[in-house]
Structure formats: structure tokens, C-alpha cells
Amino acid sequence: MSSILKVENLSHKYSTAWAIRDINLEINQTGVIGLLGSNGAGKSTTMNIICGVLNQTQGNVFIDGKDTRKEAEAAKMNIGFLPQTPPLYPDFTVNEYLHYAADLRLMNKNNIRSAVAEAMERTGISHFSSRLINNLSGGYKQRVGIAQAILHKPKLVVMDEPTNGLDPNQIIEARKLIKEIGKDHTVLLSSHILSEVHLLCRDVIMIEGGQIVFSDTMDAFNNYVQPGSVLVRMENPPPVSDLLKVPGVSRAEYLTEKQARIYFEGDQEVTENIIEAGVQHRWKIREVNLDKNLLDDIFKHLSNQS
């Protein structure tokens, strides 16, 4: 059985500078996969090559076993692409635009009407089928963009910052839609919003400096950097200076009047030391929990920005 997406030794350079070097990845399941990377990391270059927008300098890309250079037409039939700015024609109605997109996909003429109707139904835009795209809100324009990416039922759907520019309510609706699409398709989703990746993605791929620096599950990404602090809630909290006297504590700060974040280094038995000091000095400790690293901290660590 062919992989949905397989990338082998993918490299590309602009003029004399390499944008990406030796990218290798393989995706075999449906679901939403997050693609992370800071600006200039090579993320957009990788996505554009996968979607056939850009020809790579070296390496190969296979979509459902089809080489995107040798069998470009067959490979692209299994790709749906939503760029950061949806490729919409404002003077078309929603129905006209989706029929036009279906023609571009070389879909069977006999199947286009039903495929357009199904795509509009899935994205919740059927009631706007006769409306000019120019007269739609930003959220509904984004839905039209998603509809054109899935109407031919591709195995791979690539989305670049799909919630960019949407208001909070529109973002919630877009996320629901992306999750739903991920049940039947493989969705490669690029986003700079780490909380969004956390909510939507099963797996994470991170590109930095033109190379993959992380590729694993969302849980593995969350746990990549070991917890380096604990959250302590106390009824009789001491001054920070007393917390710093606990063996193994490197730094401390109060988040609220009675909750402190206490930092430690190495494999010190800090929790036990804090509890022991709390009993001795009557801090009345009510709760001690390992502090989960923020996704932003992990991202900075992996991208060597910390």
C-alpha cells in the first residue's frame, strides 16, 4: 500500500542559498498533522513543493505513490491546497467558482454537480451558493477556500494558516471543520499558533533552518522538554527568599497571592524538599504539581531561540 505522502531527500535553493536540505518524511494515515516552523525556516518552500507550485532542486515527492515530477497530473489529482490567502474570484458566485475549480481539477463532468453540492454541504455554505464571493464575510470566504480544496476528495489536503485573519467565533468554526475533514483525509496544517496545533493535530513536524528538527506525536512534542518547575499552592506562603533556600530551587515567583512557580535544575528531589520545608515552616501546602512546559517554550527550545 502506497504512502499518502512520501518525501525523500528534498532540497531546494534560491540562487546560491539553500532553503531546505534533505527533508524526509512519510505519512500513512488520515488525521491532522501540524507543520511548524519560524519565518524563513523552509516551511512554505516545503509545502509549495509538495503541492506542485514549486519545482524542487533535488529529491522526490510522492502523493499516493505518484511522483509529483514524473506523474504531475495524477499526483495533483490527490492534492487539495488552501494557501494562506484563499485563491478566490470575487466576481464569481460560490457555485460558479466551485464548478470552475472542479474543471481545473479535471474532474469527470458527470460528477461535478454532486461533488460541488457535497463540498458546500460539508463546509456549511450551501445557503450561499448563489451569492457573489465578494459579498461573503471573511469566515465564509475561508469556507469556500476549504471547499475547493476538498471537492475532488483528495487523499492529502494542505492548509497554510487556515484561521489567519478570522475572528474568534470564525476560528472556532474553522477548527471544527478542519477536525471533521481530518477524519476522511490526511490534513497537513501549517500554523504559527501553537495552541491551535495543540488542539487540532495528532502529529507534529517541525522545520527549522531548512531541516526537520522534530517529527513525532503531539504528546511527544508536549513532553520534549522535561518539566523544570513545579506549581505550589500554600495557605501560609513565605517570601520568595525563603523558597530560594530550599535545596535544588534555582528561582521562584508568585503567580497569585498563594500560588508560586518554583524552578529547579537537574534531577533534584525538589518536590520532597519543598514539602519537607513546608511542614517545617508551616507553609500549609495544599497542592504541588509539575508545571507543564508551555508550547511556546518547547518551540523556542527546538528552534534554538532560547
Mark residue 255 as left, alpha or beta (left: phi above 0; alpha: psi -120 to 50; beta: remaining): alpha
61 closest CA partner among 4, 13, 8, 11: 8
Question: At 160, which CATH number?
Answer: 3.40.50.300
Helices (H) and strands (E) in the chain, counts: 11, 14
Residue 268: per-residue pLDDT: 55
Share above pLDDT 70 across residues of the chain, in percent, rounded to a whole number: 94
Question: At 282, which CATH number?
Answer: 3.30.70
pLDDT band at 184; cut points 50, 70, 90: very high
Query: Is residue 186 domain-shared with residue 86, that is, in the same domain?
Result: yes
Residue 306: per-residue pLDDT: 46
What global pTM score does this model have?
A: 0.78
Residue 119, pLDDT above cutoff 90? yes
Determine, yes or no, domain membership for 25: yes
62 closest CA partner among 52, 54, 53: 52
Domain enclosing residue 117, as ranges: 5-222
Query: Is residue 141 domain-shared with residue 217, that is, in the same domain?
Result: yes
Q: How many residues does the chain have?
A: 306
Number of domains present in the structure of the chain: 2
Determine, yes or no, domain membership for 252: yes
pLDDT winner (highest mean) among 128-137, 158-167, 249-258: 128-137
